[in-house]
């Protein structure tokens, strides 16, 4: 490990983001220019959003309080998002928030405070807003929290039952170099979407995944309703959305019925094969063909190709963000087990190739590095929710819910404190979420921008963005640790979350516990020193980075748990600091287990891969039995009225909703709204032409979008990415947020994961002038009279 000097050094402030490391430099005209890291072979286009969003009019300039809350005090508000704000001074805002926190914890108990703050926030190890907020709330008695993530809420609960822990699948799969050397066939359920691979939690300095995707020589079977979600040359199986599990079971039936399965591997490394095999009766290719729209002959041919090849079967994260989302993950694992290749280089099962930039990334040479982060302390409140159940919690306090074999109760939330996230991006059925956000007494939000979450708050505290503060950053498999320099002064009166929370802690008597006597800069230095993996801090800060693993056998530092704490479970904060896991045998999945299952058992009841789980079966969930099954989505009962299948996938022009006001994101809008892709024949049936503003609707709501015609879709499928800033007019989002249409129902009683990937809709051309998009301007703001 050395302090690195780029081959072509770039002047300016070094920093990093979830979509890549860069430098902020002053351009010839005096404006800010964003220059990708010189070592990055494939910089993310998302960097083009940074400079244009930095001083956008939607930045929150000063603390703001909802007028009715300021004048009448805390309480539920049916019209929360429609009322004006009053700008106040920082002291008044902090006094109000501290008094309300104190009132709620004294009168209702700390379980009545929801420390929501789910979201990606900053790539920095210190200025990670959800971690900062949890640390603060834990010093004042704790809060109700959320578990898992919208991205992986289903898999993070399911996989421990099947393989012992989720990390075995999510972080230790075969690397791209291993795949290039060994894999003959990739069967990609959900595809290998290149648009997602520029993003990695914590940042990435060298984007290499796109290059590996282009260089693949393995045959690719693309199983997706979208043709362009795999490299050119892939064979396309355009199945009906939501039927991947049916296809997997038919493939498994072919393997078993034609004796193409690996009996020795199943006997040695799995349990539950007899139960699984019995469940396949009648689930042959002829059964699956009319369900999924793939010919039976093609199903049988694909199964035979899989059996005679070194095959990597991969399932994108998107497939588990659906009703019964456990099933494609479980069926995919079972199908890979039948092939007997789990644990072989370039073979077996993968979950997330193309879903995230670090899946398959070999990372730095030598061992992976665990970097420090701000410890959060202990939360004495036991109440929690699965993250996607926030509207249920707010609307139904006291109601019981199932989760992973236990029964829990929703607490009665009186105060929501949110920092570093936007639930009006992540959550489904936004009209329902608006009703839920009307129920608490008080909502406090730290935000740099006037997002829908800020507009639904009672108190909005202006927060800085990355370029306005100091930090250190590095992703889970990044090759560098980046010194995140402050490049510009904070916008307006914005403060960083640490300063905001330290001031609240001082008012509540816990400042010493929260700050430990350190400034933000001193915390950054302390975390770097506790890592102990690089040159002195001053040298690191001046160089702007430390390169990791500069050669074979390079020693790398690890954080001391006693000094920096242990990272929160994977997925709790999707974009936050997470432990970096060491790969075994060049990243090959389950290599040690395969070699000797008795000596290296999995952390399952059997010590093996569980094709049938007696534990899950004992829970008695009708929507998630003890083995993989295909169930028809309940949404399909509306197919007569809503014949188009909407896929609400991740955008290519931003990370979720972050920097939707940036230049790259705005340039991709059509008629000022999010672009919806339709097959030309589906559009022609509805009299829709490219560029038209269209109305997309179902029973839950409506949104307006700009039409793009795309032959790379299966007929009957439309594609509307998530992340357009929610701009409601009645029950219509005029800006094109698909979560005005998606259902707020859990994947199953097992995981309670979100189901926001699919919905049934109708689309029609909008006649007349569309209503204006208003979310690009701040809400009505008044100055305080006092």
Task: Report the catalytic residues.
Answer: 118, 120
Selection from 299, 315, 302 nearest residue 348 by Cα: 315
Q: Residue 677 belongs to what H/E stretch?
A: strand 675-678
CA–CA distance, 180 with 215 (Å, rounded to integer) = 8
Q: Which residues of 538-551 are buried (b: 16+ CB within 10 A; e: fewer)?
A: eebbebbbbbbbee
Strand, helix or coil for residue 778: coil
Phi-psi group of 91: left, alpha or beta (phi > 0 → left; psi -120 to 50 → alpha; rest → beta) = alpha
* Alpha helix stretches (DSSP H) within 511-604: 511-515, 520-531, 537-543, 561-564, 591-595
Contact 104, 442 (CB under 8 A): yes
As given in the structure block, the two tokens for residue 48 are 């083009």
Residues 6+ apart with CB under 8 A from 35: 10, 12, 22, 23, 24, 25
> Which helix (H) or strand (E) element contains residue 315?
strand 311-315
Mapping DSSP onto H, E and C, the string for 116-135 reads: CCCCCCCCECCCCHHHHHHH
Pull the structure tokens for residue 753.
């994961």
Contact 145, 177 (CB under 8 A): no
Residue whose structure tokens are 């301007």: 777
Element (H, E) at 67: helix 67-72
Distance CA 63, CA 61 (A): 7
CA distance 202 to 361: 14
Give the integer Cα–Cα distance in Å for 390 and 470: 32
Alpha-carbon span 607 to 272, nearest angstrom: 12
Residue 652 CA to residue 558 CA, distance in Å, equals 34
- List the beta strands (DSSP E) in 404-544: 406-409, 415-419, 442-447, 459-462, 471-473, 480-484
Residue 667 in tokens: 């340039």
All residues at 6 or more sequence positions from 484 whose CB lies less than 8 Å from its CB, including other chains: 14, 15, 16, 123, 124, 466, 469, 470, 471, 472, 473
Q: Are 273 and 261 in contact (CB under 8 A)?
A: no
d(Cα 372, Cα 547) in Å, to the nearest integer?
16
What long-range pairs does 391-397 form, CB within 8 A, spacing at least 24? 391/427, 391/429, 391/432, 391/433, 391/435, 391/436, 391/744, 392/744, 393/114, 393/144, 394/436, 394/437, 394/439, 394/440, 395/432, 395/435, 395/436, 395/439
DSSP state of 337: H
The pairing of beta strand 758-765 with beta strand 644-647: antiparallel
d(CA 151, CA 574): 7
Q: How many CB atoms within 10 Å of residue 512?
A: 11
114 beta partners: 144, 416
SS (HEC) of 98-118: HHHHHHHHHHCCHHHEEECCC
Q: Which two tokens stand for residue 700?
A: 């839950």
């Amino acid at each position: 490990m050395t302090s690195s000097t780029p081959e072509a050094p770039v002047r300016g402030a070094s920093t990093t983001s979830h979509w890549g490391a860069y430098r902020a430099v002053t351009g010839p005209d005096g404006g800010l220019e964003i220059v990708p890291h010189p070592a990055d072979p494939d910089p993310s286009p998302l960097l083009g959003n940074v400079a244009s969003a930095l001083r956008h009019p939607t930045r929150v300039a000063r603390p703001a309080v909802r007028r009715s809350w300021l004048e009448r005090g805390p309480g539920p508000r049916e019209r929360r998002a429609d009322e004006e704000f009053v700008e106040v001074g920082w002291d008044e805002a902090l006094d109000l928030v501290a008094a309300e926190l104190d009132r709620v914890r004294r009168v209702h108990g700390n379980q009545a405070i929801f420390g929501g703050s789910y979201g990606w926030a900053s790539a920095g190890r210190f200025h990670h807003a959800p971690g900062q907020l949890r640390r603060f709330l834990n010093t004042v008695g704790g809060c109700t929290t959320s578990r898992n993530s919208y991205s992986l809420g289903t898999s993070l609960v399911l996989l421990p039952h099947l393989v012992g822990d989720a990390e075995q699948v999510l972080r230790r799969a075969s690397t791209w170099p291993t795949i290039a050397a060994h894999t003959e066939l990739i069967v990609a359920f959900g595809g290998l979407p290149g648009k997602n691979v520029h993003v990695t939690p914590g940042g990435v300095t060298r984007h290499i995944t796109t290059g590996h995707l282009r260089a693949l020589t393995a045959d690719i079977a693309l199983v997706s309703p979208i043709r362009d979600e795999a490299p050119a040359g892939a064979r396309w199986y355009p199945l009906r959305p939501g039927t991947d599990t049916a296809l997997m079971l038919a493939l498994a039936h072919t393997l078993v019925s034609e004796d193409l399965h690996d009996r020795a591997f199943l006997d040695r490394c799995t349990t539950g094969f007899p139960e699984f095999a019995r469940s396949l009766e009648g689930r042959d290719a002829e059964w699956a063909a009319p369900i999924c729209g793939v010919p039976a002959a093609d199903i049988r041919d694909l199964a035979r190709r899989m059996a005679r090849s070194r095959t990597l079967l991969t399932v994108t994260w998107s497939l588990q963000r659906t009703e019964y989302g456990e099933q494609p993950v479980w069926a995919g694992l079972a199908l890979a087990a039948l092939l007997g290749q789990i644990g072989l280089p370039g073979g077996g099962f993968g979950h997330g190739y193309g879903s995230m930039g670090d899946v398959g990334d070999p990372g730095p040479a030598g061992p992976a590095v665990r970097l420090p982060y701000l410890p959060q302390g202990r939360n004495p409140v036991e109440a929690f929710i699965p993250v996607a159940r926030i509207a249920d919690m707010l609307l139904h306090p006291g109601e019981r819910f199932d989760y992973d074999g236990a029964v829990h109760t929703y607490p009665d939330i009186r105060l929501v404190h949110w920092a570093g996230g936007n639930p009006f991006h992540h959550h489904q059925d936004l009209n329902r979420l608006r009703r839920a956000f009307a129920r608490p007494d008080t909502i406090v939000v730290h935000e740099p921008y006037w997002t829908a979450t800020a507009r639904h708050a009672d108190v909005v505290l202006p927060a800085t963005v990355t370029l306005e503060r100091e930090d250190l950053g590095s992703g889970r498999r990044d090759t560098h640790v980046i010194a995140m320099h402050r490049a510009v002064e904070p916008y307006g009166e914005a403060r960083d979350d640490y300063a905001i929370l330290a001031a609240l802690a001082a008012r509540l008597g816990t400042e010493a516990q929260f700050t430990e006597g350190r400034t933000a800069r001193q915390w950054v230095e302390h975390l770097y020193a506790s890592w102990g993996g690089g040159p002195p801090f001053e040298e690191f800060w001046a160089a702007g980075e430390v390169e990791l693993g500069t050669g074979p056998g390079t020693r790398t530092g690890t954080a001391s748990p006693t000094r920096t704490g242990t990272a929160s479970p994977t997925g709790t904060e999707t974009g936050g600091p997470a432990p970096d896991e060491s790969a075994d045998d060049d990243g090959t999945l389950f290599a040690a287990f395969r070699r000797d299952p008795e000596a290296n058992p999995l952390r399952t009841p059997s010590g093996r891969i569980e094709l049938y789980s007696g534990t899950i079966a004992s829970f008695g969930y009708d929507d998630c039995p003890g083995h993989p099954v295909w169930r028809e989505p309940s949404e399909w009962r509306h197919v007569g009225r809503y014949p188009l299948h909407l896929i609400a996938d991740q955008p290519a022009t931003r990370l979720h909703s972050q920097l939707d006001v940036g230049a790259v994101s705005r340039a991709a809008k059509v008629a000022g709204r999010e672009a919806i892709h339709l097959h030309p024949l589906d559009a022609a049936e509805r009299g829709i032409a490219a560029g038209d503003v269209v109305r997309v609707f179902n029973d839950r709501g409506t949104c307006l979008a700009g039409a793009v015609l795309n032959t790379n879709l299966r007929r009957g499928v439309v594609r509307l990415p998530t992340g357009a800033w929610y701009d409601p007019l009645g029950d219509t989002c005029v800006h094109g947020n698909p979560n005005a249409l998606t259902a707020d129902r859990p994947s199953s009683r097992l995981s309670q994961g979100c189901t926001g990937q699919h919905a049934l809709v109708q689309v029609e051309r909008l006649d007349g002038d569309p209503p204006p998009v208003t979310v690009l301007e701040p809400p009505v703001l008044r100055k305080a009279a006092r």
